[in-house]
Structure 1
Amino acid sequence: MDYLLRRGYAPGVYDLFHIGHLNLLREARQKCDHLVAGVVTDDIAMNLKGRQPVVPLAERVEIVRSVRYVDDVFVESHEDKLRTWQELRFNVVFKGDDWKGTARWQLLERRFAEVGVEVVYCPYTTHVSSSLLRERLDSPRPPRQADMRKHILQPLGEEGDKKQNHSY
């Protein structure tokens, strides 16, 4: 491996792919020469988030693979990021800055520093997340405008029907 090459790794669930995911991958790609996106398995997502992803793993992989900023996709089937590093040998890892300062990532920063991996936090897109999207999908929605018309308009009787039969 060419050590002058800045090889980046951007792990995530990438469920309900949205603009925040795209922003992270774009930002990461601008800061490295080769970007590998790590898509975690459903089991890992369940352990990390406490729920299964909405989008199946194979589809999440294909979606992320199709993003032009991504050079390769790696299916992450374990939670040990150092083990992933041993397999991929990246020298910079990218994560949303909402993870900065968490116990998990403070520990990872120390462990990665020991092997020469830089941790770069990318700006978090605050107005959207998979959790917010999932919440919106799960919450009762107001009726659509077409559904509301059914409740507002009264059905017409025979007399009303005749009035509607205009010939132009």
Structure 2
Amino acid sequence: MVRGYVPGVFDLFHVGHLNILRMAREHCDWLIAGVVTDDKALRAKGKRPVVPLEERAAILEHVTLVDEVVVEHHPSKLDVWREHPFDVIFKGDDWRGTAKGEQLEADFATVGVEVVYFPYTIHTSSTLLRATLETNAS
């Protein structure tokens, strides 16, 4: 049984989120979605999510592609792996070849976890949706 992990903020759930979950589901038998906390999202992206953590987790819990939802509190994905073991981690290909992506690959190579990249959905993102909402609100 192959256990997969898709981490993310999953703010303003959109088709890009659905795409990565769909592709991940095709590559594993059990899919875990890791939802980062509001504070962790703030540190990583410089902005708090629009949708609170509890609501983001509830949305994912009702996506039939997902078998398990965990809240990602830890600074390291390896710490998440220690609590919720998985065989493969899925990321958007915007991480491929970046310092963060290379560190992720190096970290998971130490425990035998494969890093798989999927095409990033360019035409939509939470950042673009948020910008549109902010523009329309003014």
TM-score range, shorter chain: over 0.9
- 1:85/1:135 Cα in 2 relative to 1: closer, same or farther (>3 Å)? same
**Uncovered stretches (5+) of structure 1, i.e. residues with no partner:** 143-168
Question: Structure 1: which 4+ aligned runs deviate by more than 6 Å?
Answer: none
Give a deviation string over 1:7-53, Cα, whole Å, max 9, x none.
Answer: 00000000000000000000001000000000000000001100000
- Superposed counterparts of 1:1-20, under 5 Å: 5-20=1-16
- Superposed counterparts of 1:16-31, under 5 Å: 16-31=12-27
Asked which structure has the greater RCO (Cα within 8 Å, sep 6+), the reply is 2
- Corresponding residue for residue 42 of structure 1: 38
CA–CA separation in structure 1 for the residues paired with 2:95 and 2:103: 12
- Corresponding residue for residue 90 of structure 1: 86
- Superposed counterparts of 1:86-165, under 5 Å: 86-140=82-136
- Corresponding residue for residue 61 of structure 1: 57
The residue identity in structure 2 corresponding to 1:58 is E
**CA displacement at 1:122 relative to structure 2:** 1.0
CA–CA separation in structure 2 for the residues paired with 1:141 and 1:78: 34
**CA displacement at 1:56 relative to structure 2:** 0.5
The residue identity in structure 2 corresponding to 1:74 is V
Structure with higher Rg: it is: 1
Give a deviation string over 1:45-69, Cα, whole Å, max 9, x none.
Answer: 0011000000000000011111110
Which of 45, 52, 58 aligns to 2:48? It is: 52
CA–CA separation in structure 2 for the residues paired with 1:140 and 1:88: 40
The residue identity in structure 2 corresponding to 1:54 is V
Alignment RMSD (CA, Å): 1.2
Identity of aligned residues (%): 59
The residue identity in structure 2 corresponding to 1:108 is L
CA–CA separation in structure 2 for the residues paired with 1:140 and 1:61: 27
The residue identity in structure 2 corresponding to 1:43 is D
The residue identity in structure 2 corresponding to 1:99 is W
Q: Secondary structure at the match of 1:135?
A: helix
CA–CA separation in structure 2 for the residues paired with 1:77 and 1:111: 18
**CA displacement at 1:141 relative to structure 2:** 6.8
TM-score where L is the length of structure 2: 0.97
Which of 73, 76, 83 aligns to 2:72? It is: 76
